[in-house]
Amino acid sequence: MQLLQLTDDSVGKLIEPAPVPFSFGAPGWYVVGGLALILLIFCIYLLVMHYKSNRYRRNALQFLADTQKRFTAKETFGELVYETHMLIKRIAMSRYGRRKVSGLRGDEWTSFINTTWREKAFDNNDDELLTQTIYKPLVPVSAGQATAFTKKARRWIKKHKKHIKA
């Protein structure tokens, strides 16, 4: 069998078509644009919902800052610790349920708070500090103790889990 060899001379000059110009007029671009728009709207929706769901955190942090200024100016650090503790307790009751939170005291309370975030910063010293400020209001609380407790509370407000498993 003899192979047929084709050359430019036997077939003729190969004519290449002009390149197709790029345009967004093709129907596929409408689909891609529509999907991108839907994705953008969904992302904006998620951001707005996240912002709204964390409003209580912003309000609590503002309340804590105002409380800290007020009690630091008066140098009543025991009251600052007490108000900070009550703020944490109110947030915990609203997030995790009144039945689960309201009866917790002492070590149980500190353990519960530590289970609601990764840091686990509250310890026995904080438990003793809370006992002093609630049951023995005349015991003086130092500025350092109050500042350390409010810093932990601020971090807890920012980072606690919204819900915990039962």
| Domain positions in the chain | 55-159
Quick one: which of 78, 71, 88 has its CA closest to 145? 78
Please state, in angstroms and rounded to a whole number, the distance separating the CA atoms of residues 146 and 144. 5
Model's pTM, two decimal places? 0.76
**In this structure, are residues 118 and 158 in contact, taking their beta carbons and an 8 Å threshold?**
no
Q: How far apart are CA 43 and CA 49, in angstroms?
A: 10
Question: What does the pLDDT read at residue 58?
Answer: 95
pLDDT tens profile 66-120: 999 998 888 888 889 889 999 999 999 999 888 888 888 888 888 899 889 888 8
The confidence score (pLDDT) of residue 74 equals 86
On the question of pLDDT at 7 being above 80, the answer is: no
Mean pLDDT along residues 22-34: 89
